[in-house]
Amino acid sequence: MSKNDAAKKRIQQLCEQINQHNQNYYQYDAPQIPDADYDALMRQLQSLEAENPKLVNKDSPTQRVGSAPLDSFQQVRHEVPMLSLDNAFDDQEFEAFDKRVRDRAELTSDVEYLVEPKLDGLAISLLYTDGVLVRAATRGDGNVGENVTENVKTISAIPLKLNSKVAGSIELEDKGLPLHSALPKTIEVRGEIFMPLSGFDKLNQKAISLDEKPFANPRNAAAGSLRQLDSKITATRPLAFYAYGIGVLEGYQLPVTQKELFELLFSWGLPVCDQVAVANGMQQCHQRYQELAQKRALLPYEIDGVVYKVNDFALQKSIGFVSRAPRWAIARKFPAQEKMTEVVAIDVQVGRTGAITPVARLSPVFVGGVTVTNVTLHNEDEMRRKDVRVGDTVIVRRAGDVIPEIVSVVLSERKSESSVFHMPTHCPVCESAVERAKGEAVIRCPAGLFCRAQVKESIKHFSSRKAMDVDGLGDKIVEQLVALGLVKTPADLYSLSREQLSSLERMAEKSADNLLSALDKSKATTLAKFLFALGIREVGEVTASSLANHFGQFEVLQSASIEDLEKVPDVGPIVAQHIVAFFELEHNREVVLTLRKLGIHWPDVSAVSDNDQALSGKVFVLTGTLSTMARTEAKEALQLLGAKVTGSVSKKTDYVVAGDEPGSKLKKALSLGITVLSEEDLVALIEKQ
């Protein structure tokens, strides 16, 4: 055997040994060797690879050290949306959920649920092709996330390559799990990246010793570590991972139950939580919730509740989804943690729509994993109901472990000199007299975009990801632009020069060029996003989409009457009045006209809708990778033409569009005699219609 062959064989042996030890540690929580011995194996592998650089494989454990820093994260559109979960905060809300599940499934018997701890971390999507990790992305807004592949590759808990056969010092038969599992052609694994409590403590101790600011809680530490532009920093952070589901799956038969999916993921070498259990009916679900609540303080990681998922996949499919969440799953949150602190001041903030909100400034208090210093009092009526005053001792909690709120005032601690706080009669920013509409609890500044505070918030909203999506336009930059008078309306953003931007604090010429490029890119949008970006009161994403679909053309919507608007789903008389009032203001019409002249544009929906019957009733399935457009773009284009796009092939399918590496859907289409279109055929079909 040559020296090169011997080195190659030893490198392969070391890689297999180290990967197995990683698996023992992260999957089974049962390390088989001391840390010193593990480190010795790693050093030996590093030495051999340094001597034989041509033998270094990208899947080697030594390659988890990070790469050169990135300028920014690329965006990734999820082929299957990463939905959030609805919440239940007590037994009654969970029981109502269970009733909805049984009603939709037309069941009279108990439903079997998989019960998991709700990890307090960061959702992640891992795409494996032929068992090799090719992409990792954050959840983002559910449809579009950030490409964090290089950072995720530094996390030892996440296998760079899945195992089709799992064997080692720990026998899986003891856990009742399969040893042999062929790998799918493509699988998108979903799970949670988190920071174990021990690692979090060590990270903060190190930060304090270096006179750096420690992280507030493990979730913030995990999120901050994963989103480092320099993956070498991520490599130094003690991150862990648990898999809990899948998105895309091609070339493999989906298991029957959620529990079987966990077993399958585990058999491929992916860590899964060992606190998962099946519960049949509400009584067992309540019992499991109490068990995990009692274990909460003893677990090596933070959880803020439990997740219930209908165990049977066929039943999940029949129950379905709402726009943002599955109907077959819910998160049951643990009771909010409460602490006492003092109100040191009460002041007001002016929001995007002119709403003037009282805010209590608190003596810092650590509650529910974060340090709370500010709590909104919502409006004057709510503040009066709770009778919150400066100097009061109050009980603070984080509702659902997310939003801090004042529960009540400890009246026995109230100081004799305390006085009632009165809301201002004039806007604290522009000094306009405030107004309170009949029937509303909120007082508002009526100055609109002439109020600097409202300008600032409207610009932040306009440029946000769900609106015009101007990458790189952060709050600090917006605040500088408004303070310097460079931006007074959203339209002013598109007239900014390189010189103006590069003169801002912490804004170099390259950053200025990137922002100008992002602004130019944002000009191509959709009518729904543009409507949402305008910030019309009570016109959220769903309502903006309904308006765009109903009217088709912006000019038609702009001149619509209240009666016309009330014919749109999701639009009632109050929302209709807000829309009419917005477009009646000459200032708003001028801003919109300027934006259009500066190049803001979107597809002409009305031109499509004239022929929207061309594909009406036709059922399409997309499979494989499309090179000229994302699947979501193809899906939207087909839907605009009246087609229905589904995720599985059946006798009801009319067309299957096959991109690169199409997988099992193509085979099934051919076996059923369904018409198969290439990507070129699809583009030609869309352009023709």
Render pLDDT for 605-626 as a digit per residue (tens, 0 to 9): 654 443 445 777 788 888 887 7
Predicted confidence (pLDDT) at residue 62 exceeds the cutoff of 70: yes
The tens digit of pLDDT for each residue in 217-251 reads: 788 888 888 888 888 888 889 999 999 999 999 98
Residue 54: is its pLDDT beyond 60? yes
- Pairwise pLDDT comparison (209 vs 99), residue with the higher score: 99
Domains of the chain: 3-63 (1.10.287.610), 87-333 (3.30.470.30), 338-446 (2.40.50.140), 448-522 (1.10.150.20), 527-607 (1.10.150.20), 611-688 (3.40.50.10190)
CA dihedral 197, 199, 203, 208 (to 10 degrees): 50
Average of per-residue pLDDT values in the chain:
84
Per-residue pLDDT of 123-159, as tens digits, reads 999 999 999 999 999 988 788 888 999 999 999 999 9
Mean pLDDT over 581-597 rounds to 89
Whole-prediction pTM: 0.53
What pLDDT shows up at residue 496? 93
The backbone region for 93, taken as left when phi is positive above 0, alpha when psi lies in -120 to 50, beta otherwise, is alpha
Question: Has residue 470 got a pLDDT over 90?
Answer: yes
**Which pLDDT band, with edges at 50, 70 and 90, does 260 fall under?**
very high
Q: According to DSSP H, which parts of 493-585 are helical?
A: 498-502, 509-522, 527-533, 541-551, 554-558, 562-565, 573-584
Confidence of residue 31 (pLDDT cuts 50, 70, 90): low
| Out of 71-85, 165-179, 397-411, 458-472, least confident range | 165-179
Q: 368 or 178, which is more confident?
A: 368
How far apart are the C-alpha atoms of 603 and 180, rounded to whole Å? 50
Tokens of 676: 């198969």
Mean pLDDT value of segment 8-18 = 87
List of residues 6+ apart from 74 with CB closer than 8 A = 146, 147
pLDDT recorded at residue 360: 93
Please tell me which residue in 3, 8, 118, 206 is annotated as part of the active site.
118
Mean pLDDT value across residues 510-518: 91
Residues 278, 311 contacting (CB under 8 angstroms) = yes
Q: Please give the Cα distance from 119 to 223 (Å, whole number).
A: 13
CB neighbourhood size of 556 (10 A): 12
Q: pLDDT grade, residue 70 (50/70/90)?
A: low
Confidence band for 547, pLDDT divided at 50, 70 and 90? confident
Per-residue pLDDT band at 176 (split at 50, 70, 90): very low
Query: Rounded to an integer, what distance in angstroms lies between the CA atom of residue 206 and that of residue 225?
Result: 15
Helix (H), strand (E) at residue 529: helix 527-533
Q: Which of 45, 464, 29, 33 is nearest to 266 (CA)?
A: 29
Judged against a pLDDT cut of 90, whether residue 171 lies above it is answered with no
pLDDT interval class at 633 (50, 70, 90): confident
pLDDT tens across 298-331, in order? 889 989 899 999 999 999 999 988 756 789 999 9
* 661 vs 115, residue with greater confidence: 115
The answer on pLDDT for 118 being more than 90 is yes
pLDDT at 341 over 60: yes
Over residues 654-681, the pLDDT tens digits come to 999 988 777 778 878 888 888 888 888 8
Q: Is 118 a catalytic residue?
A: yes
**Per-residue b/e over 388-401, b at no fewer than 16 CB within 10 Å?**
bbbebbbebbbebb
